């Protein structure tokens, strides 16, 4: 998928379930600055750094799907205020995510 960096005018990309999509691919995707639709559902090799790269670089993104990606953590969700306004404003048309369960060891016992 090394060609992704050459697709600067790409506006829609669906990679759902592709097993070799990882943080390196996310870095390449982040150069597609016209991208407004991105489906990364069940791309299980993506880590937090890959998602941060995408969120910080793709200002035109209005549709993001990351179901099944464990790297999409509660911590990353709280950091959304640092990312493009397109992700956290009314211009977002669709934002699908599934968070992993909160570890019980982090809960305060009362």
Q: pTM above 0.75?
A: no
Tokens 């506006």 -> residue: 11
| Max avg pLDDT among 5-9, 83-87, 100-104 | 5-9
- pLDDT category at 16 given cuts 50, 70, 90 is very high
pLDDT of residue 86: 47
pLDDT of residue 64: 85
- pLDDT category at 6 given cuts 50, 70, 90 is confident
Domain range summary for the chain, segments of one domain joined by +: 2-99
Bridge partners, residue 67, by sequence: none
Residues whose CB falls within 8 Å of the CB of residue 44, separated by 6 or more in sequence, listed in order = 19, 68, 69, 70
pLDDT at residue 88 above 60?
no
**pLDDT, tens only, 34-61:** 999 999 988 999 998 898 888 888 888 8
3-state secondary structure at position 27: helix
């Amino acid at each position: 998928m090394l060609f992704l960096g050459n697709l600067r005018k790409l506006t829609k990309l669906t990679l759902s379930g592709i097993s070799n999509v990882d943080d390196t691919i996310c870095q390449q995707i982040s150069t597609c600055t016209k991208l407004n639709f991105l489906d990364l559902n069940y791309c299980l090799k993506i880590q937090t750094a890959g998602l941060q790269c995408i969120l910080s670089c793709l200002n035109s993104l209005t549709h993001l799907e990351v179901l099944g990606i464990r790297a999409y953590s509660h911590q990353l969700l709280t950091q959304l205020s640092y990312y493009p306004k397109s992700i956290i404003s009314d211009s977002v048309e669709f934002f699908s995510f599934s968070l992993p369960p909160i570890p019980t060891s982090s809960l305060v016992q009362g």
